[in-house]
Each structure stands twice: as C-alpha cells, then as structure tokens.
Chain A
Amino acid sequence: MEASAPAHPAPASSSPGRASERTRSERRLAWMLCAPAVVAMLAVTAYPIGYAIALSVQEVDLRFPDQGGFVGLDNYRAVLTSDLWWTDIFNTVFILVTTVAIELVLGMAIALVMHRAIFGRGAVRTAVLIPYGIITVVAAFAWQFAFAPETGFVNNLPLVSDEMDWFGGRFSSFAVIIMAEVWKTTPFMALLLLAGLVTIDGQLYEAAKVDGANAWQRFTRITLPLMKPAILVALLFRSLDAFRVFDTIFIMTRGAQDTESVSILGFNQLISRLNLGLGSAVSVLIFFCVFLIAFLFVKGLGARVEEGRPGG
C-alpha cells in the first residue's frame, strides 16, 4: 500500500527567523533520532567490509601467525584461478536460478489464491506462514531426514526407488537442497507479489471481462504488465538472498559431492581453516557478485529498487 505521506506542515509563523530556527531544531532532532541506528548499521557493514578488503591483500593465516605481510592481489589471483571457486560459483548460480524460477511460479500462484480465493484464503495464509516461522536449519534437518535412505520416508513412497541415495550424487543433492530452499522461501516471494497484486485496480478486470477476455488473457495482459515492478523487486531481493545460500547446504551436505556454495567456501576458508587473507578475498568477491546482481537488476532490467523493501 502506498502511504499517503502527509504534507509537512510548514511552520506557520510570520517571522522567517523563527521558522528557520524551528527547521533547524527539527533537523537536529531528526539527526539525533537517526544517529544510533545509522551507527549500528554502519558498524557491522562499512567498517568490516573495509577491514575485509585490507585483510584480502595480506597473507593472514591464524595457524601461522608469524608469517604475513602485504601480498597485493595474490589472494585474489589464487581464488580466481582455482577450480573450486568457479565450481562454487556455478553451484550457487544454479541453485539461485532454479529456486528463484520455481518460487516465482509457485509464489505467483499462491499470491493469486490469497488475493482472489473464493474461499480458503485464511487456510492458505496459515500454510504460507509456517515455513516462514521455521528456522532454516530445522527445515534443512527435516528434509534431510526425510530423504536420508536410513531414516527417510521418501524412499518408501511409490515411484521412488527404495535404494535411491539422494545425498550420494551431485544433482540429486541439489534437488533436495533446492526443494528445501523453495519450501522455506516461497512464502516470502508470495507475500512480496501479493503486495504488488493488491495495488491493481479491480475495475480493469471487470472492463476486460466485458470485452470478452478470458482468465489467462486477463492474467497476461493486465496482471503481469502491471506487476512488472513488484515482480522485478521480488526477484532482486530473492536472488540476492539465494546467492547467500548457506544454512541448508551446510546441514545437508557440508559441500560434499561438489555441492558447495560460495558462502560455504568463504566460511571454510575463514572459520575452519582460519585463513583470513584468502577467506577475505572470497568475501570481497562475494560482495562484488552481490553488487553486480543488484546492478544488473537495476540498470539492466530497470528494477525500481527504491520501491522495494528489505526482506525478512
């Protein structure tokens, strides 16, 4: 919904001197109110990314604290010439594209149901919020236990081979990972799309019906074009979110079977191997990838990002 920003009441004073003093005190108050949040937001983003850039051009390995020093772009060269980085980029982009594509279709269907349902709207809203409320790690365990050959019920289902070792192969692992991700994040996509859907004027549909347009025509000629901004913003936020995929992969495979994502690679270098130099180069490269995705959406596709909102 578009908040109708109330016009700011101009200080109705006849004296311009008083008015500007009032404006000044209002500004002071505003800045004081904003300062703590701004500091808190910058403290753990701007400063650390600067620090990460500084670490990434040094040799910093906490297992060998005596070594070190400025190494220029060697860490970046090491990352960018390794097969592992490019495998992980492929994995991350593969998971991103598949999950976001599936979510767009499912999320749109759910948003339409929530918007136009003849009945059962409450039931769908309830169903949609269950995945939202569940810890990602818990959801990942639930799906892992469901597909694991020893404990899972999935291999007992009809049409599924009893012997299927889901986590034994790369793309079968991806299938389970993508399913868990889709399950967890489709609700958010649906809600973002719903927010766009409610802004469409219902009279357009009535007019189209009078003109003889069927349901599919109304969807493709009215809903989709008018929702393009909402869809682009939803895709942008979900893509950035999907690019960070970490929890589900960590729980399900820990990157085994070549299923590692770039976030897992960064974590392994930084926290498991304590190689802060190399790990920071990975971190900075991930930061640039995210920047690139946002840039492509905004400049390439014209996503009006200022109309978006941070995800939950």
Chain B
Amino acid sequence: MRRGTSEYALWSIGIVLVLVFALIPVLWLVSLSLKPPDAITDQRFIPAEVSFDNYKSLFEGGIGDSPFIKPLINSLGIALITTLVAITLASFTAYAIARLEFPGKRLILAGALAIAMFPPISTVGPLFDMWRSIGLYDTWPGLIIPYLTFSLPLAIYVLVAFFREIPWELEQAAQVDGATPFQAFRKVIVPLAAPGVFTAAILVFIFAWNDFLFAISLTSSDASRTVPAALAFFTGESSFTQPTGSISAAAVVVTVPIIVFVLVFQRRIVAGLTSGAVKG
C-alpha cells in the first residue's frame, strides 16, 4: 500500500490529538494561576487579563508565613536525599547482581519485584504508630525511609539493566593491573555507569517528588510536609473561598521545572522506563 497524503493526514491528526490531550491540564493550570482573583470563576480557558497576584501571595511573608516556601524546601530536600541514598544503595546491589556470582541473586531480584507490587497503604498504619513512638513522625527521615524502600526496586532494576551493557573486559583489565574488586568498581565501572545512574536518579526523584499517601499520613506540620500534601491543606482568603488561584500557582511552580527537566532528558527517561527484562 502506498503511503499517501491521507496516511500523513491521519498521523498528523493523531499526533496533534495526543499533544493537545497531554498539554491541556498544564495549560489550564497556567491559565488559572494567571487569572486575577475576581476572574477565577469566569470559566474561560484563556485568561481575559493576566495578573501575578497568585504567585505573589504564595511567597508573601517569607519562609515564616508563606504557606508554600517551607513545603517546597521539604519536597526538594526529601526527594534529593532519597535519590542520593537510593542510588548509592541500588548501585552497590545492581553491581553485585550484574557482575558477581552469588547465591541469593534471584531471591533479591524477586524480592525487589515483590516490593514493587506491595501496596503502600498496608504499611501506613504500622509506620504511623512506629514513627510516633520513636520520634520519626513529622520529620524528614520519617518520609525518606519509606521512599527509599519503595524506590529501591525501581532503581535496582534500571541499574542492573544498564550495568549489564557495560563492557566487562575493562573491569577485568583493571583487576589484572592490580585493582581490587572495589577499586575496579569505583574507578572503571562508575564512570561508565554514570548515564544509567543518572537515569535511575531521575526516576527515583520523580517517585519521591510525586508521593502523596505517605506525605499526608506521616506528617502533621510544615516541619516536613511536602508540596503535594501542603496543596491539599491550602486554604482560601476566607473559609468560603476556594484557594483555586493559589493552588494553581503552586502547581505551576512545582510542575514547570520538572516538565522542562523531563523533556531535556526524555531519551534517558524512556530508556530507563523501557530498560526491560532482567533475568536473575
């Protein structure tokens, strides 16, 4: 069959539809966030006039009074620490699985897979109780620990897939030259593995950045509440007004940088998410 103009037209329509559908909620949030408070209910997709009042009110009062600055710091700090620790631990494990021969390898991979299927709600109650009795409730580590647990399987699988692509002979060469297995790991494999590590880091960061269930269950104040949880507790000017404008502005602030980041590194992320089958 000839690839005619009708086929091109069909593809174009399909691609445009996908793009529009993907972008609508983002554009809608931007539009809402730019509407002045009295126009928030005008139901227009494109704002009639543009105002930055919603953004100003987000940051008003500095770190002490702003409802948004502290959660933003919490979100960034918790997600970054989670990423750093998870990637370090997952790199060790993935290296062992990809490069070393040892009993228990399949068990670790199967266990990681089982944890990926584990329903987080089943751990929320016990964690809530445990964290309150050992003082981790409403702290950064109180969120970092569960995030670690649930992001490690993803990180391990992505890293094992990448590590298996690394030329094995180079490490042997280093060992022949007198490097210990650990030196071979640090000086040869780590630089070669950097792209894979970076990909896994993006995925872990997005996971921790996105979580809502643990964030509302294990925090109670701005001491550790992250942005998704804080958004759910935003209040309007009075108890009768919806904080639609400020939620939209906050949503745009936390969304646009991630979208830019995701788009810049899209090839890596797709590679990470499709890095496919791993056999023990």
**Inside 8 A of A2's CB, which chain B residues have their CB?**
276-277
**Inside 8 A of B116's CB, which chain A residues have their CB?**
237, 310-311
- Check B108 for interface membership: any CB of A closer than 8 A: yes
- Contact pick for B23, options A110, A127, A215, A294, CB 8 Å: A127
Alpha-carbon separation in the docked complex, A106 to B278 (Å): 26
Query: Is the beta-carbon distance between B25 and A6 smaller than 8 angstroms?
Result: no
- Check B262 for interface membership: any CB of A closer than 8 A: yes
Please report which residues of chain A, range 19-75, place their CB below 8 angstroms from some CB of chain B when the two chains form the complex: 23, 26-27, 29-31, 33-34, 36-38, 40-45, 47-49, 51-52, 55
Residue of A141, A192, A267 with most chain B CB atoms under a 10 A cut-off: A141
Give the residue name and chain of the B residue nearest to A279 (CB): B125
- Contact pick for B44, options A153, A198, A306, CB 8 Å: A153
Please report which residues of chain A, range 271-312, place their CB below 8 angstroms from some CB of chain B when the two chains form the complex: 271, 276, 279-280, 283-284, 286-287, 290, 294, 305-312
Chain B's nearest CB lies how many Å from the CB of A19?
A: 12
**Inside 8 A of A120's CB, which chain B residues have their CB?**
11-12, 15
Alpha-carbon separation in the docked complex, A215 to B10 (Å): 15
Chain B's nearest CB lies how many Å from the CB of A148?
A: 8
**Inside 8 A of B145's CB, which chain A residues have their CB?**
40, 43-44
Of the four ranges (under 10, 10 to 19, 20 to 34, 35 or more), the interface on chain B belongs to: 35 or more
Alpha-carbon separation in the docked complex, A309 to B207 (Å): 15
- Check A1 for interface membership: any CB of B closer than 8 A: yes
**Inside 8 A of A276's CB, which chain B residues have their CB?**
125, 128-129
Chain A's nearest CB lies how many Å from the CB of B113?
A: 6
- The verdict on A131 contacting B157 (CB below 8 Å), with A45-B149, A142-B251, A145-B244 known, is no
Tally the A-B contacts, defined by beta carbons under 8 Å.
345
Please report which residues of chain B, range 58-95, place their CB below 8 angstroms from some CB of chain A when the two chains form the complex: 89-90, 92-93, 95
**Inside 8 A of B1's CB, which chain A residues have their CB?**
214-215
Please report which residues of chain B, range 110-156, place their CB below 8 angstroms from some CB of chain A when the two chains form the complex: 110-113, 115-130, 145-146, 148-150, 152-154, 156
Please report which residues of chain A, range 110-130, place their CB below 8 angstroms from some CB of chain B when the two chains form the complex: 110, 113, 117-120, 123-130
Please report which residues of chain A, range 130-161, place their CB below 8 angstroms from some CB of chain B when the two chains form the complex: 130-139, 141-143, 145-146, 150-153, 155-156
- Contact pick for B3, options A45, A118, A128, A312, CB 8 Å: A118
Main secondary structure of the interface of B (DSSP, over half): helix
Query: Is the beta-carbon distance between A41 and B242 smaller than 8 angstroms?
Result: no
Alpha-carbon separation in the docked complex, A123 to B100 (Å): 40
Q: Would you list 25 pairs from A and B whose C-beta atoms are within 8 A, ordered by A residue?
A: A1-B161, A5-B164, A26-B101, A44-B149, A49-B118, A51-B130, A117-B11, A118-B7, A123-B15, A133-B258, A135-B210, A135-B212, A145-B29, A183-B25, A191-B273, A215-B1, A237-B117, A244-B120, A244-B121, A263-B119, A267-B124, A267-B216, A270-B217, A286-B121, A310-B113
By Cβ-Cβ distance, the 10 closest A-B pairs, closest first, are A310-B116, A3-B164, A142-B25, A44-B149, A133-B262, A48-B126, A30-B102, A195-B274, A127-B22, A51-B126
Task: With A26-B181, A52-B122, A251-B232 given, name 20 new contacts (CB 8 A).
Answer: A1-B275, A29-B96, A31-B102, A38-B111, A52-B125, A119-B11, A130-B23, A133-B261, A135-B251, A136-B210, A138-B228, A150-B41, A194-B274, A244-B119, A244-B120, A263-B213, A270-B125, A283-B123, A287-B118, A308-B277
